[in-house]
Amino acid sequence: MTGARRRGQVLKGLGISPGIALGPVCYFENDVGEVPRRKLTASDVGGELARLREAIQEAEEEFRRQRRAVATTLSENERRIFDAHLALYSDDLLRRSVEARIERDRLNAEAALKDEIDHLATLFTSMDELFRERVADVRDVGNRIHRVLLRRQQAALQGGQPVILCARELLPSDTLTLDRARLLAIVTEVGGETSHVAILARASGLPAVSGIQGLKTLALPGTEIAVDGTKGRVIVAPEKRQRSAVVRTKSSFARERQRLNRQVGRTDLERASGIELLLNIENFENLDPAVLASAAGVGLYRTEFLFMGRPSFPSEDEQLAFYKDVLGKVGGREVTFRTIDVGGDKPLRYLETPREQNPALGWRGIRLTFQWPDLSIPQLRALLRAAAHGPLKILLPMVTNVEEIRKVRALIAQLRDDLHRQGHETGADVPLGAMIEVPAAALAAEALCDECDFLSIGTNDLLQYLFAVDRNNLQVARLYQPLHPVVLELLGRVLAAGRAKGKEVTVCGEMAGQGLTALALLGLGLRRFSMSPAHLPEARAILRSFSPEEAQGLVRAAASLRTHGEVEAFLRAAALEKSGAVSLPFLHH
């Protein structure tokens, strides 16, 4: 039983899927455990190489069988993850690297595989978020091959009651065998907001928290714990007062979500205030048609997902068909397509780029794609052609200066002329915008407005660069402060530049969809909010509670405050007072 001094202890992590859960903890052990290590004689090497190849083949066949068994229940996001995951089994580079260790170090297959997987995991961890999340794929493949070599069984849930699943890391193939109906919530030690566990949890409506350390030493299996996926907290064996508060908040959260979802189609209040709510998406899987119908359009369509999980670049005609399909699904409303954002720390399997010491600050986004004709020209041609079939905007990622915009404008003009000569129809005057993610671009907003038709602020990366903080690194995550006065001053500067130049400005980072930050943006003058579909009810609730003038007054009153905490407390108090009898879960957390 949990000791009295442990009862009620609060552990802080990273909320990766919103919601509240209360239930018994179940520890999911998916590590293969100790791996034997032994030296080989020269005559043993050939047999060990054969063992490795046979194990890789058997592991791949097992994975394919499990994937087929649940194929009809997988979302498009999950299918894409598993396709990339499956490619690792047939990756000659991985197999050759392990074989080289067997031959060079005279190690048994298990030890050589472990050393290579550890090497790759360390390499990927030093890269950006997208590659860090691939560590789970690499470890998963390694674990499965190890289990074949060692003849050990894959982990499974025990018993039959609903549980809160706790694991060091939930690997992709684990989710193929888990009974999701038995999961109340998920808690992991590692895994960020784009990890497979986050995708699984959000798709299934499960609260989830990552970055929780030491839970196993505080709570025996079966101990009741509370999980707050909104604030990223876990309470061990809640005391009576804590438990009552959790139950009330859980009920309040569920009621409010139902109420907000019922009102999702009411857009009259936004129109009356001149507010537009748009969506950030990369596909239409699991997107509620009512949510899509209630949005003013798509403020950010991430096109790089079209390029992933493939052996080669998609052709111009393939991209054209894809973009036309997106426009058709949105039904005449605007779609802003961000050109492919890869390079440096976000490479494609079929695109070789130089290895960089600091890839997050290196050759990526617009810096790469518009120096790489195989990427830029087919995509821009396809987008220009698709613009003849609906309202389409082109958004350029990772813009730093006006020269980049001028270069792209010249290229677009040339491509449009080429398309017309070839008899292709294109959209007329397709708007071109810059993504404001680099602090230098934010400071140069007025100059960029002279070159662009619109700006789109990506607050996630902008704040990480501004504070020099990885928000998924729990050692420094506290320094990621979206309501810091410096952030509000910088965002206000960009919005003011847009107003002065008569150019549209959208915020498409997380700040646009989260209650208090959305309120602050409204007060700064923002009228176009683009967000994850899951955040639309929350944003709609707060933006309907305040008129733009009221929000502006709050931001003006907060101008004398000096810390993130002070601004947050001030806005929370104002929002709670304004909401009156209406319970907004994100305000009470």
pLDDT of 459-489, one tens digit each?
988 998 999 987 666 677 778 899 999 999 9
User: Side chain identity at 475, as an amino acid letter?
Assistant: Q
User: Which has the higher per-residue pLDDT, 150 or 127?
Assistant: 150
Query: Is CATH 3.40.50.300 what the domain over 435-443+457-589 is classified as, yes or no?
Result: no
Q: Do 433 and 395 touch, CB atoms closer than 8 A?
A: yes
Q: Do 164 and 207 touch, CB atoms closer than 8 A?
A: no
SS3 40: coil
Bridge partners of residue 23, in order along the sequence: 225
Confidence of residue 306 (pLDDT cuts 50, 70, 90): confident
The CATH code that applies to domain 42-150 is 1.10.274.10
Whole-number pLDDT of residue 259: 67
Residues annotated as catalytic are 196, 508
**From 141-150, 350-359, 472-481, the region with the lowest mean pLDDT:** 350-359
Whole-number pLDDT of residue 253: 76
Listed in order, the ranges of the chain carrying CATH 3.20.20.60 are 303-430, 435-443+457-589
User: Side chain identity at 29, as an amino acid letter?
Assistant: E
Structural fold of domain 10-30+155-237: Glucose Oxidase; domain 1 (3.50.30)
Listed in order, the ranges of the chain carrying CATH 3.50.30.10 are 10-30+155-237
Listed in order, the ranges of the chain carrying CATH 1.10.274.10 are 42-150
pLDDT tens profile 175-206: 667 777 889 999 999 877 667 677 678 767 78
CATH superfamily of 303-430: Phosphoenolpyruvate-binding domains (3.20.20.60)
Whole-number pLDDT of residue 345: 46
SS3 121: helix
Residues 265-276 as b or e (16 or more Cβ within 10 Å = b): eebeebeebebb
d(C-alpha 189, C-alpha 191), whole Å? 7
d(C-alpha 55, C-alpha 267), whole Å? 56
Whole-number pLDDT of residue 449: 98
d(C-alpha 242, C-alpha 228), whole Å? 12
Residue found by looking up tokens 């915020």 in the block: 507
Confidence of residue 170 (pLDDT cuts 50, 70, 90): confident
pLDDT tens profile 66-94: 777 776 666 655 666 677 667 777 667 78
